[in-house]
C-alpha cells in the first residue's frame, strides 16, 4: 500500500457474512477465551461487541472487521455495507492521525536541529531539506483531508426505509446495538474536525520553522559580512604598511644614489682634502677650530636631514591616501568616438574593460 509516497502496511477491514449453517452455535462458543476466540480475532481484530441473533445466528464486531452468520447476513446486507463504509473511513482517518503525529514529531526534531545548529555550517542545508520534505507531506495531507471532508458530507447512514421496514424486528435492533454504526459515524465527523485543527497547527509550526531558517540564514550572512569587514580592515592596514615601506625604500634609493654619486666623484678626483684649498683652510679655522662648534653644526645638519626625510615621506603618504577609486556600471548609450577623444586627452594609468 502506498501512502504519501511511502510503502506502509495499511490496516484492512474484513466483512464476513455467513449464511445459514447446518450446525448453529451461540456467541459463547466463539468467545470462549481460547482457540475459537483467537481464530475470530484473526479476522476481526480485537473484539468489541458480540451478540446472538434471534434467528440463530451471531454478530461479532471487532476493530478490523465483523462476522455475521444466519439469515441476517443476507437480510440486513444494506446495514452491513453501510457499516463497512463507515469503518473503512474510520480506519483511514486513524492512519491519517498517525501520519500527522509523525509529522509533528518531525517538526519537533527539526526545531531541535535549529536550536543546536551553531557550529555546524552544513546544518542549515539539512534543516531546509527536512523542512521542504515536511511541507510536501503537509500539502499532501491537506489535499487528502480536503477530499475526505468533501466525502464526509455524503457519509452513508442507516436509511429511513430500512429503519421503517425493520422497525419491529428484534434482530435489527440487536445488530445496530452491536455494530454501533451511528456512534462510529458521529465520532468520524468529530475526528475530521480534529484533523483539520491539528493540520492547521502543523502548518503553523512549519511556517515558524521557515521563519527560523530565514533568521539563521540572515545571522550567518551577518557573521559572514562581519568577517569580510574584519578581513578588509586587516588587508587595508597591510596595504598601508606596505605602502609606507615602499615610500621608505624609495627614499633609501635616493640616499644611496647620492652616496654613490659622491663616491664616484671621490674616485675620479682622488684623495681630495678640504685643507688643500685656501678657502678650505679658512672654513677650518672659522668653524672647526672653535671647541664644540662643528659638533653643533653636525647635529643641526643631521636634524635638517631627518626632518626633510620625514616631510617627504609624509607627503608621499598624503598623496597616496588622497587617491580614491570609484567604479560605476552605467547601462546607457555612449558615443565611441567621443570616448576615444576623451581617452586621448588623458593619461591612463590602468585600464579595465567588461563588455557583453
% of the chain surpassing 70 pLDDT: 82
Mean pLDDT throughout 209-234?
78
pLDDT for res 303: 87
List of E strands, the chain: 2-3, 6-7, 14-18, 47-52, 58-62, 65-69
Q: Measured between alpha carbons, how far apart are the two ends of the chain, in Å?
A: 56
Backbone φ and ψ of 3, nearest 5° = -140, 120
Between CA 216 and CA 206 the distance in angstroms is 15
Mean pLDDT throughout 347-355?
67
pLDDT tens by residue, 287-299: 777 777 878 888 8
Q: Is the pLDDT confidence value at 1 over 50?
A: no
Structure confidence at residue 320 as a pLDDT band (50, 70, 90): low
Structure confidence at residue 7 as a pLDDT band (50, 70, 90): very low
Structure confidence at residue 3 as a pLDDT band (50, 70, 90): very low
Count the alpha carbons within 13 Å of 162 in the hemisphere toward its beta carbon: 17
H/E stretch holding 239: helix 181-269
Mean pLDDT throughout 40-51?
79
Q: Is the pLDDT confidence value at 23 over 60?
A: no
Cell numbers standing for residue 152: 464526509
Quickly list DSSP for 137-167: HHHHHHHHHHHHHHHHTT-----HHHHHHTT
Quickly list DSSP for 215-226: HHHHHHHHHHHH
Between CA 261 and CA 188 the distance in angstroms is 108
Model-wide pTM > 0.85: no
Amino acid at each position: 500500500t502506498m501512502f504519501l509516497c511511502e510503502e506502509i502496511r495499511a490496516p484492512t477491514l474484513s466483512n464476513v457474512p455467513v449464511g445459514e449453517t447446518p450446525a448453529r452455535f451461540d456467541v459463547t462458543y466463539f468467545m470462549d477465551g481460547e482457540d475459537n476466540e483467537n481464530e475470530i480475532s484473526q479476522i476481526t481484530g480485537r473484539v468489541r461487541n458480540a451478540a446472538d441473533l434471534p434467528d440463530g445466528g451471531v454478530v461479532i464486531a471487532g476493530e478490523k472487521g465483523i462476522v455475521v452468520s444466519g439469515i441476517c447476513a443476507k437480510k440486513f446486507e444494506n446495514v452491513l455495507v453501510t457499516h463497512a463504509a463507515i469503518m473503512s473511513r474510520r480506519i483511514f482517518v486513524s492512519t491519517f492521525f498517525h501520519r500527522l503525529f509523525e509529522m509533528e514529531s518531525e517538526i519537533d526534531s527539526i526545531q531541535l536541529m535549529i536550536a543546536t545548529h551553531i557550529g555546524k555550517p552544513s546544518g542549515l542545508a539539512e534543516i531546509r531539506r527536512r523542512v521542504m520534505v515536511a511541507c510536501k507531506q503537509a500539502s499532501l495531507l491537506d489535499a487528502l483531508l480536503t477530499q475526505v471532508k468533501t466525502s464526509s458530507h455524503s457519509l452513508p447512514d442507516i436509511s429511513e426505509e430500512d429503519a421503517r421496514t425493520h422497525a419491529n424486528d428484534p434482530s435489527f435492533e440487536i445488530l445496530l446495538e452491536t455494530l454501533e454504526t451511528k456512534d462510529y459515524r458521529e465520532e468520524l465527523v468529530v475526528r475530521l474536525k480534529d484533523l483539520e485543527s491539528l493540520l492547521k497547527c502543523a502548518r503553523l509550526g512549519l511556517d515558524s520553522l521557515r521563519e527560523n531558517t530565514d533568521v539563521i540564514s540572515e545571522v550567518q550572512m551577518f557573521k559572514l559580512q562581519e568577517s569580510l569587514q574584519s578581513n578588509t580592515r586587516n588587508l587595508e592596514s597591510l596595504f598601508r604598511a606596505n605602502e609606507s615601506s615602499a615610500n621608505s625604500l624609495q627614499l633609501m634609493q635616493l640616499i644611496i644614489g647620492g652616496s654613490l654619486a659622491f663616491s664616484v666623484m671621490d674616485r675620479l678626483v682622488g684623495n681630495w682634502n678640504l685643507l688643500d684649498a685656501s678657502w678650505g683652510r679658512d672654513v677650518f679655522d672659522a668653524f672647526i677650530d672653535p671647541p664644540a662648534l662643528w659638533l653643533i653644526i653636525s647635529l643641526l645638519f643631521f636634524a635638517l636631514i631627518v626632518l626633510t626625510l620625514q616631510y617627504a615621506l609624509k607627503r608621499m603618504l598624503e598623496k597616496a591616501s588622497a587617491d580614491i577609486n570609484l567604479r560605476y556600471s552605467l547601462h546607457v548609450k555612449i558615443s565611441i568616438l567621443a570616448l576615444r577623444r576623451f581617452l586621448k586627452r588623458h593619461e591612463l594609468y590602468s585600464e579595465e574593460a567588461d563588455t557583453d
